[in-house]
């Protein structure tokens, strides 16, 4: 399901990272019948107004791809917003955004197969730009299906050098990678004939041997969204003494 949230009020909604038009991408999964599809969430903020669209691709309702839900609403002084949309493939849709990033959506009069009502409860993580929700299908009072929705705003991985320790012509570099989607590639390459080996993960521990006075270490991280970050750091040999040098990376 596509949830689009539009926080005008960076003040009210505390969404400094979700301003103007922002797109969340991800997937839904029906855990009852083991079906899945893609999700696209668009969020737009303009003064006190919130508008957006919800697009749940695939057989979310059990058969044909449902049409996109377009909605708009206004924030009140407490940073809360509500919207109502009628005549959709999901029946009458009522949504609610709260100032802490929580989101709920109730769909009534769905009348699609044996689905009469849909209830969604979710949460936007305002710092990581992620969205997670659980949903339920009902046939009257009977619960028929359960599922989950995961989406995020694609962004490049962030590489943070936690520690760099150099001893003569050897070095240990410890790196943390922050990404709101799975890291599919992590690579470390040393220059000038030195050799880099990744010996641990999460955080990544890199052992570099054969250092020279000019050796650099190039670190590459790529996530499941196909976005890549490359960072190069100096790992020059310490030739003045065999003593251990601890250098805290900025």
Q: Is the pLDDT of residue 18 over 60?
A: no
pLDDT number for residue 240 = 53
Among residues 152, 172, 192, the one where a domain terminates is: 152
Q: Is the pLDDT of residue 128 over 50?
A: yes
Q: Residue 94: give its domain's CATH number.
A: 2.40.128.20
| Mean pLDDT in residue range 66-94 | 92
pLDDT number for residue 239 = 64
Among residues 92, 121, 152, the one where a domain terminates is: 152
Q: Is the pLDDT of residue 243 over 90?
A: no
Q: Is the pLDDT of residue 9 over 50?
A: no
Q: Which residue has tokens 């002084």?
A: 77
Over pLDDT 70: what percentage of the chain? 87
Q: Residue 192: give its domain's CATH number.
A: 2.60.40
Query: Measured between alpha carbons, how far is 220 from 244 in angstroms, rounded to an integer?
Result: 27
pLDDT in tens, 200-212: 999 999 999 999 9
Same domain, 103 and 215: no
Q: How many residues does the chain have?
A: 250
Phi-psi category of residue 213: left, alpha or beta, with phi > 0 → left and psi -120 to 50 → alpha: alpha
Q: Do β-strands 91-97 and 228-234 pair in parallel, antiparallel, or remain unpaired?
A: unpaired
Same domain, 110 and 195: no
Among residues 101, 127, 152, the one where a domain terminates is: 152
Q: Which domain holds residue 98?
A: 10-152
| Mean pLDDT in residue range 13-25 | 63
Query: Measured between alpha carbons, how far is 184 from 163 in angstroms, rounded to an integer?
Result: 23
Same domain, 136 and 236: no
pLDDT number for residue 1 = 44
Same domain, 143 and 162: no
User: What's the domain count of the chain?
Assistant: 2
**Strand ranges, E, within the chain:** 22-30, 35-46, 49-56, 69-75, 81-88, 91-97, 102-108, 117-125, 130-139, 142-152, 158-167, 170-178, 183-190, 195-200, 204-209, 216-223, 228-234, 245-247
pTM: 0.76
Instruction: Answer yes or no: is 3 within a domain.
Output: no
DSSP labels, 147-187: EEEEEE-----EEEEEEEEEETTEEEEEEEEE-SS-EEEEE
Same domain, 169 and 237: yes
pLDDT number for residue 225 = 95
Same domain, 112 and 204: no
Could you tell me the pLDDT band of residue 215, with boundaries at 50, 70 and 90?
A: very high
pLDDT number for residue 78 = 83
| Mean pLDDT in residue range 21-46 | 92
């Amino acid at each position: 399901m596509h949830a689009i949230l539009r926080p005008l009020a960076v003040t009210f909604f505390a969404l400094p990272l979700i301003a103007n038009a922002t797109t969340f991408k991800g997937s839904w999964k029906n855990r009852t019948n083991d079906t899945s599809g893609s999700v696209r969430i668009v969020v737009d903020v303009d003064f006190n107004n919130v508008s957006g669209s919800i697009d749940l691709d695939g057989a979310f309702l059990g058969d044909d791809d449902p049409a996109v839900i377009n909605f708009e609403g206004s924030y009140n002084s407490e940073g809360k917003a509500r919207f109502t949309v009628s005549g959709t493939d999901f029946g009458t849709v009522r949504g609610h955004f709260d100032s802490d990033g929580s989101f709920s959506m109730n769909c009534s009069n769905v009348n699609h197969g044996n689905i009469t009502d849909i209830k969604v409860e979710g949460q936007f993580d305002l710092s990581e730009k992620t969205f997670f929700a659980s949903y339920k299908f009902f046939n009257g009072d009977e619960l028929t299906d359960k599922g989950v929705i995961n989406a995020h705003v694609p962004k490049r991985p962030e590489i943070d050098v936690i520690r760099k320790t150099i001893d003569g012509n050897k070095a240990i570099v410890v790196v943390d990678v922050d990404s709101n989607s799975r890291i599919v590639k992590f690579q470390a390459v040393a220059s000038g004939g030195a050799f880099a080996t990744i010996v641990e993960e999460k955080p990544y521990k890199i052992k570099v041997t054969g250092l020279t006075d000019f050796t650099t270490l190039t670190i590459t991280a790529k996530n499941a969204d196909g976005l890549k970050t490359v960072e190069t750091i100096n790992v020059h040999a310490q030739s003045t003494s065999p003593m251990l040098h601890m250098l805290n990376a900025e």
